[in-house]
Structure 1
């Protein structure tokens, strides 16, 4: 019997060893993805499932009980979760936040991981809100949108601007316990509806300086995974969500093309020439983008292992991430278009994939503006704070 395309792991990848819990968790996510959209958040039991399969400990230092997984291993895990549901994958992708937290002082990290490495962190960085210095640290007030996964987080980071702060143009992030943060529901969108990307609000909260970090700055911990550029890693952790969503959309299209008859009496979809042609193009588009993505990941990781990052390599990683997001969205649009009226229903996986992938590609770290910035750097132009 010939294996169908959806049964073949792209590029022959060996999946990460996340334990026997992962297939069960993925099945549960697929069964409940409509529920997540209605609730506008991923449920607490799924967040606990993420902990069991290692999402939140993957990038935590081994000295704190973490695993220090490679960027490619983490991304493949997020890709599989995203194939089950884009919103679940997006929330899980914030497991990369441990790399940002690694810029906190060692003593602070010890407190964060005192009870284990499975700490759920959410962040909403922009717009930076003004904060003032006090004897206890910084007095922080303001509202920040797009705090994905905040309903299930234990720690929440917010971007602040402090007068005469020597950060080199990089944002300072105040990390606070979730109980000090008000979550203001404000997530009425067409895609990634289950991510709980609400506004977070702080009112005159004093944050000690040792609980702040410089996003994109030097990490406290000197390990290869923390030499890997954290801003680039955040972009690729989001981009790989699009790859998983697109894989799900193509699998759906292939399945219905083989069996669904036309109500007009036309041949089944899989027997129509234009469907065969566009499906082949979409498959090649997705696999090409995915291959570039993981090739750039491995190249950058090898440099982190050797202790020195070439800015051009980091730029290529950002380019690969943006390309993955944009190409994945195009693949989802192709799949939805080919499926015809079957993709119109709100509960359709193809409709969900099209909308979810569109939102991924609209992210500030992945939209077409980042292509221009990558091209500028590749052509010898000046770097900007926070890019690549």
Structure 2
């Protein structure tokens, strides 16, 4: 078993092997997280540490040398990175996005992974742009938003309008870095280190074989690519909020013995502080348990060779939205327990609050997902695009 798979297996068991590449990556993130926030992105040399730890081969098909990890194993890796730094966890989470590229023709994938399975993909998929059809492909141009991790990407994806042969569904066009301009405009209060800049493409020609429908039928016959792709995309982001919430809650627990500025009893001696900590711990662990329980249930279905049902896909979306919401609520409660010291730039609490607030803002994780899940549970049609 490789060192990378050892790290993944250990993560699934809630531990980490001493001296592993994954441990080294966590150490780098811990030392340099302030740099990520200041620079507005995770630098490429840190992305190389993630590659060495197996993050960017985690969703590469086994037939092309990847690990194709079960979702729960990958999610636990992202959770642990996010405990250390939310932005690093967010960027690393897109190691899962190669599940989309499994819809490319096998010949294209063989070319994509010709230099190895550790490929970093960044996408700016919206707004979907029209293209000009040219012999054998598309002439692509336009501007796309929110390309998280784009500064360290090996390949890019942009959203383009599909034709009749795709039933009108949007396509993703895959481009090389020399075909894409990164417009650095990521100016935000939370997840500052994700470098989620705009992408601009000016008339690049993309062959038909380098386009795919996101969530489309995979050409790879392995269990990971039968797992619902769009719900998985929501999961890898929701688990970032979980990691940030765990860090925030652990911080206020550790601060229980601090001396008050005013001479008041120590936090751990106050019933209100203890009650809030206890409630937050129960809320976070409950949401986490539901999240992983649902993940394992759906994985067992697809690993057995059966397709995930619409109800199972909906459960993944519900568990993800609920985890994002609960994680933010836990961080907000922890921040309030931090008192006036929490507002200082030197306190990690203000960073936890800013980062956790971003997660439930994502379109995949907003409260509207409860509406879709409720519709499925009651046997009525959910809103368009939910399933």
Q: 1:386 to 1:67 in 2, by over 3 A?
A: farther
Corresponding residue for residue 53 of structure 2: 53
C-alpha displacement of 1:312 = 0.2
Q: 1:119 to 1:18 in 2, by over 3 A?
A: farther
Identify the match of residue 271 of structure 2 among 270, 273, 276.
Answer: 273
CA contact (8 A) 1:18 1:53 kept: no
Secondary structure of 1:218's partner? coil
Secondary structure of 2:94's partner? helix
C-alpha displacement of 1:121 = 0.4
Deviation digits for residues 46-96 of structure 1 (CA, Å, limit 9, x no counterpart): 101100110010111111110111000000000000111000000000001
CA contact (8 A) 2:12 2:72 kept: no
CA contact (8 A) 1:86 1:245 kept: yes
Corresponding residue for residue 104 of structure 1: 104
Q: 1:186 to 1:317 in 2, by over 3 A?
A: same
Corresponding residue for residue 4 of structure 2: none
Corresponding residue for residue 326 of structure 2: 327
Match runs of 1:73-152 below 5 Å = 73-152=73-152
Corresponding residue for residue 180 of structure 1: 179
Report the count of equivalent residues. 376
Q: 1:18 to 1:219 in 2, by over 3 A?
A: farther
How many Å separate the matches in 1 of 2:157 and 2:215? 14
CA contact (8 A) 1:170 1:217 kept: no
Corresponding residue for residue 299 of structure 2: 301
How many Å separate the matches in 2 of 1:321 and 1:30? 26
CA contact (8 A) 1:18 1:54 kept: no
How many Å separate the matches in 1 of 2:129 and 2:346? 38
Q: 1:252 to 1:189 in 2, by over 3 A?
A: same
Q: 1:17 to 1:310 in 2, by over 3 A?
A: farther
Secondary structure of 1:188's partner? coil
How many Å separate the matches in 1 of 2:382 and 2:370? 14
Corresponding residue for residue 361 of structure 1: 360
Q: 1:383 to 1:220 in 2, by over 3 A?
A: farther
How many Å separate the matches in 2 of 1:161 and 1:147? 18
C-alpha displacement of 1:169 = 5.3
Secondary structure of 2:36's partner? helix
Secondary structure of 1:319's partner? helix
How many Å separate the matches in 2 of 1:19 and 1:101? 32
Q: 1:14 to 1:58 in 2, by over 3 A?
A: same
Corresponding residue for residue 7 of structure 1: none
CA contact (8 A) 2:189 2:354 kept: yes
Is 1:223 matched up with 2:209?
no
User: RMSD of the TM alignment (CA)?
Assistant: 1.7
Q: 1:386 to 1:117 in 2, by over 3 A?
A: farther
Secondary structure of 1:141's partner? strand
Q: 1:300 to 1:17 in 2, by over 3 A?
A: farther
Q: Which runs of 4+ in 1 moved over 6 A?
A: 16-19
Corresponding residue for residue 195 of structure 1: 194
How many Å separate the matches in 1 of 2:307 and 2:39? 44
Q: Normalised by the size of structure 1, how large is the TM-score? A: 0.94
How many Å separate the matches in 2 of 1:322 and 1:294? 13
Give the unaligned 5+ runs of structure 1. 1-10
Deviation digits for residues 151-175 of structure 1 (CA, Å, limit 9, x no counterpart): 000111111114x434345421001
CA contact (8 A) 1:123 1:158 kept: yes
How many Å separate the matches in 1 of 2:269 and 2:12? 28
C-alpha displacement of 1:346 = 2.6
Q: 1:95 to 1:12 in 2, by over 3 A?
A: closer
Corresponding residue for residue 375 of structure 1: 374
Corresponding residue for residue 287 of structure 1: 285
Match runs of 1:204-223 below 5 Å = 204-223=203-222
Q: Normalised by the size of structure 2, how large is the TM-score? A: 0.94
CA contact (8 A) 2:181 2:199 kept: yes
Secondary structure of 1:243's partner? helix
C-alpha displacement of 1:12 = 9.3
CA contact (8 A) 2:12 2:73 kept: no
Q: 1:35 to 1:214 in 2, by over 3 A?
A: same
Deviation digits for residues 337-362 of structure 1 (CA, Å, limit 9, x no counterpart): 11011110234211111110110110
